[in-house]
Amino acid sequence: MIWILAGGVAIVAFLGIAFILKAPRSGYEAVAAALVLGIAGYALQASPGIPAAPKPATQKIAGNAAALVEARQTLDGERGPAGDNFLVIGDALARNGRFADAAGVMLGAVRKNPKDGDAWLGIANSLVGHADGQITPASLYAFQRAADADPASPGPPFFLGMALAQSGRLAEGRALWAELLERSPADAPWREDLEQRLQQLDAFITQQQTVGNAP
């Protein structure tokens, strides 16, 4: 019965994405692949015959996942029409810490429009979240594609700087933030927050250097 239920949920989810959220027909394959991947993962790891027992979630959410999505939307502005439905679904998954699923769904947006910078940035952030805040080659590639799609956007350098700092590459993260602050207009809505984060990072770097130089 559990397999029938899982299949039924997948079908209902696909119909909801296709007809209620009106995902583009060209993206049906990506949505179906994400759902099949989820069922395959369940088939490999699940044990439906074992009695249920409460257990903490195994995937950690790096920081506040919902705030991360909201910050990206604020920094990157309006979405392109081609990737809108995919981003809505991907953002909903990312807000709940389902970063791998979010990245998989957002791939549908960049398949439709390879120059969708917001979608590439959403993929990059989701990949970093899935890696518990660590930079990976895949996330670096997505950050680069986001920056190439819209060189003037503050989103890619802001979030790449954050990811680098979280990965322990403090100097590289600081350099990106400092460069972004230098080219940001005085009235940019993100400038004040960026200044505060840069000050906090500088204080942390100073503290680390002091500890490192202590006898």
CATH of the domain at 103: 1.25.40.10
Per-residue three-class SS string for 52-120? CCCCCCCCCCCCCHHHHHHHHHHHHCCCCHHHHHHHHHHHHHHHCCCHHHHHHHHHHHHHHCCCCHHHH
For residue 192, the tally of other CB atoms under 10 A from its CB is: 9
* Inside any domain, residue 59: no
Q: What is the pLDDT of residue 86?
A: 82
Q: Give the residue among 157, 37, 159 at the shortest CA–CA distance from 107.
A: 37
Predicted pLDDT of residue 85 = 78
Q: How many Å is the Cα radius of gyration of the chain?
A: 20
pLDDT-derived band at 14 (thresholds 50, 70, 90) equals: low
Q: According to the model, what pLDDT value does residue 136 have?
A: 92
Reported as type and span, the H/E element at residue 38 is helix 28-45
Statement: residue 66 has pLDDT above 60: yes
**Same domain for 30 and 118?**
no
| Residues 112-157 pLDDT 10s | 889 999 999 999 999 999 998 899 999 999 999 999 998 988 999 9
Question: Is residue 74 domain-shared with residue 175, that is, in the same domain?
Answer: yes
Q: What share of the chain is helix, strand, coil (3-state, %, to 5)?
A: 75, 0, 25
CB contact at 8 A, 141 and 128: no
Residue 57 resides in a domain: no
Q: What is the pLDDT of residue 82?
A: 43
Within a domain: 192: yes
Residue 163, domain member (yes or no): yes
Q: Provide the pLDDT for residue 209.
A: 81
For the segment 83-105, what is each residue's pLDDT rounded down to a tens digit? 467 888 888 888 888 889 989 88
Of the two residues 1 and 126, the one the predictor is more confident about is 126
Domain identity same for 71 and 154:
yes
Q: Give CA–CA dist 27/109, Å, rounded.
A: 8
Determine, yes or no, domain membership for 157.
Answer: yes
Say if residue 9's pLDDT is above 60.
Answer: no
* Residue 181 counted as domain residue: yes
Minimum mean pLDDT among 18-27, 29-38, 53-62: which range?
A: 53-62
State the residue for tokens 């972004």: 180
Residues 69 and 104 in one domain: yes
Number of domain units in the chain: 2
Task: Give the position of tokens 């959220």.
Answer: 21
Retrieve residue 135's tokens: 């930079």
Residues sharing a CB contact under 8 Å with residue 194, sequence separation 6 or more, in sequence order: 154, 158, 177, 180, 181, 184
Q: What is the mean pLDDT of residues 166-172?
A: 91
Residue 6 and residue 109 in one domain: no
Q: Per-residue pLDDT averaged across 164-173, rounded?
A: 91
Q: Which residue range forms the structural domain that includes residue 16?
A: 2-45
Q: How many CB atoms lie within 10 A of CB 13?
A: 15
Do 100 and 129 touch, CB atoms closer than 8 A? no
Whether the predicted pLDDT of 169 surpasses 70: yes
Q: Kindly state whether residue 116 falls inside one of the protein's structural domains.
A: yes
How much is the pLDDT for 56? 34
The answer to whether 165 touches 174, Cβ cutoff 8 Å, is yes
Residue 55 lies in a domain: no
Residue 20 is predicted with a pLDDT of 55
